[in-house]
Amino acid sequence: MVESPSLADPVISIKGLRKSYGETEAIRGIDLEVERGEIFAFLGPNGAGKTTTVEILEGYRRRNGGEVTVLGEDPERAGREWRERIGIVLQSGRLDPYLTVRESLDLYAGYFRNPLSTADVIALIGLEGKADERASRLSGGQQRRLDVGMALIGDPELLFLDEPTTGFDPSARRQAWDVIAGLRDLGKTVFLTTHYMDEAQRLADRVTIIAAGQIVARGTPQDLGDRENGETTIRYRSAGQEVAVQTMTPVETLHEITAAALASGEVLEGLEVTRPSLEDVYLELTAEAELPTEGRRLS
């Protein structure tokens, strides 16, 4: 990664963002920055506040508090010039079923001052063979790629992708990932929301995890997945009972358990030592955030 914070202002800057719907606080004061040219993943479970945040950044929703700057402007007051520079893929947006891939892109190209060529975008989203097919005849994954193409056609500096692969089968996800990874080579800044840890890990330069309207972790996918620092779990059965011991010092703990077992002649059935997977780290972080304020226990 290129470290050049002094050369360019962040593309997105959020300080103390708050948003409530009635009594419910959806966003409880978050800060984050997105640098030019990076793919930034905003990861969290459903209902964590991802879409609320991204729609505030896109100018669709108004905030209750905090400062938000996107490409140097406040999205609530930004106008047409600002919209020339961003591309938006909504979480659920269907396409005009009666227009073809090419026509949908041509229509949107007309909205922008300096659009990319339709043919280039069709190649970029891998729909060369479907250019004259109506949107209604495309698969779900192909429709989503066309959706990305319509957000790209204006040649934006910044692209928002809100859960771009939710509900996809593995091969459609992989094709969508290839398209998104390709955006990095075009120098685009990408703000990606997702609830898939593997998607963030695969695509993002940096990941920020949100849960219950608060940020619970941030870092590179490697940092977050740094399992050396996690707790290790030792499991075995003793007298028919499942035992699970969690420890930060697995070598010592395991030594004590096995020494005691040897001394008493006990066979530790099903003995296993496991470290948390990325998924476990993510689930733990997001579950913790939901516990204290709600005063309830999530299974």
Partner 1 sequence: MTGFALVGHQFRYDQKAFWRNPAAVFFTVMFPVVLFLILAVVFSGEEVDVRGGIEATTYYVPAIMSLAIISATMQTLAMTLVIAREDGRLKRGRGTPMPPWVFIAGRVGNSIVVALMMLVLLAAIGALFGADVPWDRLPAILLTLVIGAAAFCCLGIALTAAIPSQDAAAAIVNAMLLPLYFLSGVFIPEDQLPDGVIAFADLFPVRHFFDAFMDAYVPAGASAVSWDNLAIVSLWGVAGLLLAIRFFRWTPRSG
Give me the least distance between CB of 44 and partner 1, in Å please: 18
Please choose, from the candidates 60, 28, 30, 29, the residue with its C-alpha nearest in 3D space to the C-alpha of residue 42.
30
Our CB check for partner 1 shows the closer of 10 and 87 to be: 87
Query: Which burial class, exposed, middle or buried, applies to 92 when counting CB atoms under 10 A from its CB (0-12, 13-18, 19+)?
Result: exposed
What x-and-dash track marks residues 123-162 binding partner 1 by CB under 8 A?
-----------x---------------x---x--------
Our CB check for partner 1 shows the closer of 54 and 224 to be: 54
In the numeric block, the tokens 């990932």 are attached to 177
Our CB check for partner 1 shows the closer of 160 and 236 to be: 160
Give me the least distance between CB of 85 and partner 1, in Å please: 9
Q: How far apart are CA 50 and CA 279, in angstroms?
A: 18
Give the residue, chosen from 95, 243, 261, 283, that forms a contact with partner 1 under the rule CB under 8 A: 95
| Choices 5-13, 25-33, 79-87, 264-272 (CB under 8 A): range interacting with partner 1 | 79-87
Give me the least distance between CB of 98 and partner 1, in Å please: 4
Paired tokens of 29: 């004061």
Give the residue, chosen from 2, 67, 74, 111, that forms a contact with partner 1 under the rule CB under 8 A: 111
Contacts of 90 (CB under 8 A, 6+ apart): 147, 162
Segment holding 279, helix H or strand E:
helix 278-294
Complete edge-to-edge strand list for the sheet that includes strand 206-211: 86-89, 158-162, 189-194, 39-43, 206-211, 214-219
23-62 positions binding partner 1, by CB under 8 A:
58-60
Q: How far apart are CA 270 and CA 279, in angstroms?
A: 23
Residue 98 contacts partner 1 per CB under 8 A:
yes
Residue 172 contacts partner 1 per CB under 8 A:
no
Angle CA(160)–CA(227)–CA(209) in degrees, nearest 5? Answer: 25
| Choices 27-35, 96-104, 121-129, 208-216 (CB under 8 A): range interacting with partner 1 | 96-104
Residue 83 contacts partner 1 per CB under 8 A:
yes
Give the residue, chosen from 112, 220, 238, 254, that forms a contact with partner 1 under the rule CB under 8 A: 112
Whole-number CA gyration radius for the chain: 23
| Choices 14-22, 91-99, 216-224, 244-252 (CB under 8 A): range interacting with partner 1 | 91-99
Contact indicator for 116, 153 with CB cutoff of 8 Å: yes
Binding site for partner 1 (CB under 8 A): 58-60, 80-81, 83-84, 86, 88, 90, 92-96, 98-99, 103, 106-108, 110-113, 134, 150, 154
